[in-house]
Amino acid sequence: EAGVAQSPRYKIIEKRQSVAFWCNPISGHATLYWYQQILGQGPKLLIQFQNNGVVDDSQLPKDRFSAERLKGVDSTLKIQPAKLEDSAVYLCASSFRRGGPDTQYFGPGTRLTVL
Amino acid sequence: SQQGEEDPQALSIQEGENATMNCSYKTSINNLQWYRQNSGRGLVHLILIRSNEREKHSGRLRVTLDTSKKSSSLLITASRAADTASYFCATVGGSNYKLTFGKGTLLTVNP
């Protein structure tokens, strides 16, 4: 079974530029998550989708971050404009569950460096 | 905000020894999960223990949960160099079963 795919793996940008990350979850997984992991910390949930709909985006900085999940499959996370403190690894995860606790499967992540 | 707090922050042991990591949390949970993260394989789910369970085993892993003390421990027996990684506890709670990670324990197993 193919895992969660993410691209790009690495990205370096200047502050105030924009950047987008792409995620393809495991086939059949209804729930998709985006996490931000700053160096030395655990992942922090940014946004959770159930199919096309947003379940939780309480920790998403909505003035600069946006995410969408078209057709309930792939998802993109965008930052515009980027700040220095956005340097982190952005992890995408998916789970099968449709309304209960379940194991999340993580992609390899995109390491973003903002200069 | 981070819910779980792992202890110790870093642990260095010799191959063959056991490693114990602890996690404390603050609010009620549905379940607690442990994850491993290294550069080679990313973040990988290890084991899940539900709030009504006290102990769970998976291979060389043993997890305990004490909901009265709001704490959990992960024991890795007969450690190997390949176990070198960061280990995170993550609590699950709330109506959307949100996963909240701690800061992790960095385990180094020396050959």
Q: Does residue A89 register a pLDDT over 80?
A: yes
Residues belonging to chain B: 111
- Which residue of chain B has the CA closest to A55? B96
Q: Which two tokens stand for residue B83?
A: 């176990």
Residue B47: pLDDT above 70? yes
Q: Tell me the C-alpha distance between B12 and B10, whole Å.
A: 7
Backbone angles phi and psi of B78, in degrees to 5:
45, 60
CB A50 within 8 A of CB A29: no
For residue A93, give both structure tokens: 């995860």
CA dihedral B27, B62, B96, A97 (to 10 degrees): -170
What is the spatial distance between Cα A77 and Cα A20, in angstroms, rounded to a whole number?
A: 6
Single-letter code of the amino acid located at B64: T
The token duo for B66 is: 């004490």
Better-scored residue on pLDDT, A71 or A80: A80
Q: How many CB pairs under 8 A join A and B?
A: 50
Mean predicted confidence (pLDDT) in B33-40: 89
Question: Closest-CA residue in chain A for B48?
Answer: A103
- Categorize the per-residue pLDDT at B7 as very low, low, confident or very high, splitting at 50, 70 and 90: confident
**Interface contact flag, B103 A42, Cβ < 8 Å:** yes
Which pLDDT does position A100 carry in this prediction? 59
Q: Are strands A105-106 and A88-95 parallel, antiparallel or unpaired?
A: antiparallel
Residue B93, chain A, CB below 8 Å: the answer is no
- Rounded mean pLDDT of chain B? 91
Verify cis geometry, omega within 30 degrees of 0, for the bond prior to A108: no
- The CA distance from A37 to the nearest CA of chain B, in Å, is 10
CB count in 10 Å sphere of residue B42: 19
pLDDT at residue A70, as a whole number: 82
pLDDT in tens, A19-70: 999 999 999 999 999 999 999 899 999 999 998 899 999 999 999 999 999 8
How confident is residue B65, by pLDDT bands cut at 50, 70 and 90? very high
Phi–psi pair at B5, nearest 5 degrees: -130, 110
Residues of A in contact with B2 (CB under 8 A): 41-42, 44
